[in-house]
Structure 1
């Protein structure tokens, strides 16, 4: 396969982009992330404020936290223990505005809505995204240029961060790091492409694409093989034994998930945020099952192994791995959550669709082979802006709590939402 490469071998692309980065920082400081997009509560839902978002019969959507609680651009949420949540808040696209927050939820009771207690566990994080519990029970966080982990501290105690991977590429169009763990404990990391479609400064499309060259392998998912702790229980001196490309031709893998059970247990799934065409219907987003050594086509191929615009005479799409499923264009899947079969979601693969043709949370049921398929099951929908009670839905992160209830965060709208029963008996949507 590909030769092993160490993180410190990434080319330094920052120097020639310094002026552009400075300008981008100024412009991004005024990006939509800086503006609140509020909801008008419509009664109560499980002791919280209820918001007007479509959900299955017998359920409601609760507004648990928002900008009143200090949320700026939440990207991921994770339950540490009942009532104790951690949230990755990116802040904005300006570097080092991110935070790791801890929310302590009140016990909803009575007519008055109590606000969660919020504590900043870490600040000045560089465009953080990933937030995941590892097989070692530590919490793993992905910043633009590094992955680190911390044991869960006692309430009120500080975290103890330890670097796992650093000197990762943090420049270009897709610097965010998503992660997933394999069944064998391997850590999979998104190394997004530096550009939309490998265009150069003049807009030309070189062939071969230099981002796929042996010097960098951008637009790929890499695999880190982690060392086990030493016999004394202390972390090994270097936590990573090997770090190498796993799958190529993936523009931006900010949605990764490993199936936890069933016939396809351990399979790794990726939702592709495809090339940006100024076309409402092209190109489709993709759901891919990632296999070692496979090439999924970026930037040469899109959709069902079709040549991308500008590569019609040069692409060799038949040699690439076909997508498992195609999703509508511009849905922008920003997170995947593989639910256990024993959960209320019965093993569905949930997806947060964030884009202009997304703004919903959908699920895909496992088929006989254990893999997701069939029609999308809508869990949160009817989420267009109505000018009165709700903004356009912008889901970015999904998680289940100890009771199997779905938690959703939105970046632009600065919210933490929960899907809760509206009655004593809440039927599930038709499958």
Structure 2
């Protein structure tokens, strides 16, 4: 069977609601984890087991748990507009997940969240919509978001007051001209300045039942796919996908570092001038890294942190309160699921990030290289993880008695 024919059959199976692992999975499984096929060849924190929940999901990005055995997943499709889908996954006890296509023709959908009222929200490149189910329908409420450039995907979080914090990624890697956007000069980088900056986190506040007001909250943030709100302090945390190349378009596997940032209003976090604490590029007029807000912690270069959340109190006590992060990158620093413990008093990251899932390089006959993309926690303390390199949904479930 050819690869193209295999993909076509998988797509037809998904449309018909055939169980998602009708095609033999790339992950070899053995035994059970929470009633699903267990993946035993990866290095998993001992308090958890890992399961293959569903396969052949296209290019899954966002995941949202609606119940113990009901989830929504966004399939980005590819980098072309109009190929994305919204999928619903349902499972009866003892059976595999059934996949239903709720919506098609979406523009590179990524973020999925619920607000404090339980409303489901979905982000495409150019808008954010409320999602109605049965029948599925989108009702856009934030529109005309910039969709061009290298980082068009939108992720967002919602605070207790119902305000949205939205990633508007930079159109380029390091403020070079790209996709019709002007390059920076020695006078500055227009891509992250002015009244409507890219490379920023925007805050949207509801004015009334139908209108929202948006303004830039903080900038100099190249691509804020990883966003999470601390459950006790309400502080906004961001995982920064830093520049691919150094000044002069030089690529280095060990630099520049990615970042973990505490985002505060009015702060400039450095892109494209300064990365990490001291990786300075003077091309656009910067003099010193001291002129920008320093990161709270450094993440290894090219780890590519994407989805993240603060782990709630339903899981193993050792990990409660930790910031769980999907490191998506293909370099050795990436393709891991990590957790950063936070100090109980100061509510700041403590020590180094620790692996929840590791050893995710390709291992012939065992498992492929992984690329964890997003993560969500259900009420049972289980973590649902999308993995877009291979089109899978994984489950990290607490072991009983741990």
Is the Cα–Cα contact under 8 Å of residues 37 and 414 in structure 1 kept in the other structure? no
Using the alignment, how far apart are the partners of 1:290 and 1:183 within structure 2? 17
From 263, 270, 287, the equivalent of 1:290 is 263
Using the alignment, how far apart are the partners of 1:296 and 1:385 within structure 2? 35
Q: 2:297 matched to which residue of 1?
A: 325
Listed one character per residue, the Cα deviations across residues 26-61 of structure 1 (whole Å, up to 9, x for unaligned) are xxxxxxxxxx98212233323222222211225321
Using the alignment, how far apart are the partners of 2:291 and 2:151 within structure 1? 25
Q: 1:21 matched to which residue of 2?
A: none
**TM-score of the pair, normalised by structure 1:** 0.80
> Deviation of residue 341 (structure 1)?
4.3
Q: 1:73 matched to which residue of 2?
A: 59
Listed one character per residue, the Cα deviations across residues 355-404 of structure 1 (whole Å, up to 9, x for unaligned) are 02211101111102112332212111111111221111110010112211
Residues 309 and 390 of structure 1: CA distance in aligned 2, closer, same or farther (over 3 Å): farther
- Are positions 1:269 and 2:229 aligned together? no
Q: Mean Cα displacement is larger for which, 48-57 or 387-396?
A: 48-57
> Deviation of residue 347 (structure 1)?
1.0
DSSP 3-state at the match of 1:222? strand
> Deviation of residue 150 (structure 1)?
2.4
Using the alignment, how far apart are the partners of 1:341 and 1:46 within structure 2? 19
- Are positions 1:139 and 2:112 aligned together? no
Using the alignment, how far apart are the partners of 2:289 and 2:77 within structure 1? 39
Is the Cα–Cα contact under 8 Å of residues 183 and 190 in structure 2 kept in the other structure? no
Listed one character per residue, the Cα deviations across residues 211-250 of structure 1 (whole Å, up to 9, x for unaligned) are 123253011011111135xxxxxxx2x331x211000100
Q: 2:3 matched to which residue of 1?
A: none
> Deviation of residue 85 (structure 1)?
0.7
Residues 140 and 378 of structure 1: CA distance in aligned 2, closer, same or farther (over 3 Å): same
Q: 1:42 matched to which residue of 2?
A: 30
Listed one character per residue, the Cα deviations across residues 168-192 of structure 1 (whole Å, up to 9, x for unaligned) are 1000000011101133321111111
> Deviation of residue 161 (structure 1)?
2.1
Q: 1:244 matched to which residue of 2?
A: 215
- Are positions 1:350 and 2:324 aligned together? yes
DSSP 3-state at the match of 2:290? helix
> Deviation of residue 89 (structure 1)?
1.1
> Deviation of residue 343 (structure 1)?
4.1
> Deviation of residue 317 (structure 1)?
2.3
Within 5 Å, give how 1:130-279 maps onto structure 2: 130-151=111-132, 153=133, 157-200=134-177, 205-207=184-186, 208-214=188-194, 216-228=196-208, 236=209, 238-240=210-212, 242-261=213-232, 265-277=233-245, 278-279=251-252
Listed one character per residue, the Cα deviations across residues 77-134 of structure 1 (whole Å, up to 9, x for unaligned) are 11112211111111111111111111002312xxxxx321111111111011110001
Residues 331 and 65 of structure 1: CA distance in aligned 2, closer, same or farther (over 3 Å): same
DSSP 3-state at the match of 1:141? strand
Gaps of 5+ in 1: 1-35, 109-113, 229-235, 427-431
> Deviation of residue 340 (structure 1)?
2.4
DSSP 3-state at the match of 1:375? coil
Residues 248 and 78 of structure 1: CA distance in aligned 2, closer, same or farther (over 3 Å): same
Is the Cα–Cα contact under 8 Å of residues 148 and 163 in structure 1 kept in the other structure? yes
> Deviation of residue 420 (structure 1)?
2.5
Using the alignment, how far apart are the partners of 1:279 and 1:48 within structure 2? 40
- Are positions 1:117 and 2:98 aligned together? yes
Using the alignment, how far apart are the partners of 2:267 and 2:42 within structure 1? 39
> Deviation of residue 160 (structure 1)?
3.6
Is the Cα–Cα contact under 8 Å of residues 381 and 398 in structure 2 kept in the other structure? no
> Deviation of residue 204 (structure 1)?
7.1
DSSP 3-state at the match of 1:211? helix
DSSP 3-state at the match of 1:136? coil
> Deviation of residue 350 (structure 1)?
0.5
How many aligned residue pairs are there? Answer: 365
RMSD over aligned CA atoms reads 2.1
DSSP 3-state at the match of 1:374? coil
> Deviation of residue 203 (structure 1)?
11
**TM-score of the pair, normalised by structure 2:** 0.86
DSSP 3-state at the match of 1:373? coil
Using the alignment, how far apart are the partners of 2:48 and 2:229 within structure 1? 28
Residues 37 and 324 of structure 1: CA distance in aligned 2, closer, same or farther (over 3 Å): farther
Q: 2:69 matched to which residue of 1?
A: 83
